[in-house]
Structure 1
Amino acid sequence: MNNDLKALFPALNQTLDGYPLCYLDTAATSQKPAQVLEAMDSFYRQHNANVHRAAHQLSARATSAYETVRDSLKEFIGAAQSNEIIFTSGTTQSINMLAWGLTSQLHQGDVILVDSAAHHANIVPWQELAKRSGAEVVPIPLTADLRLDIQAYQKQLDTLPVRIVALAHVSNVLGTVNDIKALSAMAKAKGALVAVDGAQAIAHHKVNVVKLGCDFYSFSSHKMYGPSGVGVLWGCYQELDKLEPMLTGGEMIDTVSFDGTCFGQLPNRLEAGTPPIVEVIGLGAALKFIKELPVEAFDHEQQMLNLLQQRLAQLPQVELYGAHQDNTGAVAFNLKGEHHQDVGILLDQQGIAIRCGHHCAQPLMQIMQISGCCRASVGVYTSREDIDRFITALEDAIDLLG
């Protein structure tokens, strides 16, 4: 089944310097199945028009296709209504839009708790919000095994005037999974809003935002087998409707005059300008692809991650970080005494694509007391052969560096 899935992804069928591509960088961006590419090509060839604005048939078809994806997303994440789905350029814009929109709701002395393992896109927007409002950003500590420290988190909620809690559903570096349902319940009991970065979870976990109990959930298409340039901000309607628009102009208005402007209703009010129409169409095709995958595909993906952890743990030269059996999607490691970039270059010379660096998580690197690390990450197309080739190439790198 896995090889049949891999055949659906054209970019995986190539060689690099004579080696078949072994793609283990899905956490950075997933490859795209042919049906996503075909859906976008077909839209440009047959249906290309702007949405919501014209009376002609092309615009009507484009608008229908665009809004159908919003409806599909509602079902995909278990939202209560379609107008809770806001299209953005990706997770980063989603969180920036959220942080900007909450500005008037925060005041001097308020606290924003942020996951210490968060991506920079879930740290910097909150720091900027703190500058504007006089609030303070406080990190939630991690345990020695690099999980969120639940006892410390509860103490922070009990003793600090927490207004917002910003969490990662899954760490983009480590693959560790946060229990968003439990963490949200703890925060809500103290009257705090909960914002979740779901970029690394959405393609691996079945997500139901209502059951999770959070207020906002953000994710990107390109992490879930769709195109880049489009993402989603979901918010429960009551809280989403309170956000001040970060962008203004066309599409998001009701009436405009030089005496003043009246903004429109959700979702338009938070979607100024021409949206990423064809990218939304591609996202719709990716949703269909994911929904049609058999459950065995996701079981296999998890097996490949656990196999990756096990094989790396068997190499005495490898140092693993936060590797747990219930992790999702990625494993972080270094070769003892070697620079992570050197390892990545040697693997690339054998057709192995992984990610090396600080992974946009410098505070986490500081906690781990390293400058960076290697990260290998899997998708539904990852095969046992990929894992075997990666380990063999890594052993060759160890011999060369030794």
Structure 2
Amino acid sequence: DLEKLITVAAPSTLAALPANHEIRSHLRQEASARCRSLLRTLLFCQKVMQLLFKGDSPLSREVYVVLLERLCELSKRVAKEVKEWLLYHDDERKYDIEVTVTIIRARILSVPELDVQLARMIESGRTSAIDFAANLASRCLLQEPPVASQNDFFSSLQILKKMVQRGKASESAVTLLDTLRNQVPAISLKELTAKDGEPAGLRDQLATLFTDWVRMYHHPASNEKTHAAYITKLQQQGILKAEAISPLFFRVCTEISVDTYIKTKAAPGLPPNLPFQAVDAFARLIVLLVRYHTDPAGVDPNHARLNLTAKILSIIVLVLVHSHEQRRVHFNQRPFFRLFSTLLNDLHLAEEHLQPIYIQILSAVSNTFHTLQPSFLPGFTFSWLQLMSHRFFMPKLLLAENQKVNHAGDFSSGVACIAVVSEC
């Protein structure tokens, strides 16, 4: 019945259908009616998938994807089966660009998950797989509005670049890479020196840079090499060198991390770690920026790294204090606690790369915690106490002091923090 209704429907998209249209009624009823048994649900799901890839109109794609989405929501087993078929089943019927884009928009599949499988398909050398991957990336990246970012297709694009170098890529792959290479960077040096203080759209551009990093950091193929490439990209765009821009960038990163936590935590049915994805990615970004930072004057790279650490920490404090004052009793300390605790963990993991200033960096963190003590920010008290007892913070500072490490820096703030803890 639904298939017949789609065939005779006048509107070309689901959004254009009236609220009382029969297709909408069927969508509300079909999914719940079919989920009375797992076997019936799986069989119905197979039928929906067949109709989805058989359809040739925007309306049919949207209707069947919505139905598929609701079936996945009602059954975790169905969601698992659908995802496995879309990702791993060797069937060239899946090489439908518009259907795949509609599935991505519905978030039945995430682009990073799909990207890993696309890279494997490209490596197989099949022309159909190469063309599908190149055309899908082109559709998602180059058409307005874009469905994904280049970081989402990181693995596929890397494999395509290697094939172009070896002369084995298809014409569609060569065209895609040429187009991406010729695109204007998101932020130019002229924009960074605009006279009006904050150039129009700059905050959005900086936000895009950070959200691209979050996606790349959590990408299944993410590694040290991809992280270093992103840091190089930031350095080339002058984000860290421009005094008027870098504070805004770190402020945007902090605000997005906190806001993302608050919004996703309030949404029901999401994975427990999802609210912390932006926060965790920001913590790692801070450590990498400090690790790879150099002195613009070329004199003292360690001094430059310590200055950058202090700058970033001070901006986080400003955002925290502002949120504390604005929200008052509704202040949410959890995202800030997660940011600082993850930062301490990541600093510990990078300790070898941060020598000889690792203890001095912890001393800068100690100065930050001294600023955030409960007498100033009562809404942060519980998190503050937990951070003070973090195994990668005070124990390391005390050990360095007891060993009389001559580069350990000033421990006065650490001692003051201990005194505050003893009073709590």
TM-score (norm. length: structure 2):
0.25
> What TM-score does the superposition give when structure 1 sets the normalisation length?
0.26
Structure with the higher strand share, 1 or 2? 1
- Give the structure with the higher percent helix: 2
Larger radius of gyration: 2
**Larger RCO, structure (CA 8 Å, separation 6 or more):** 1
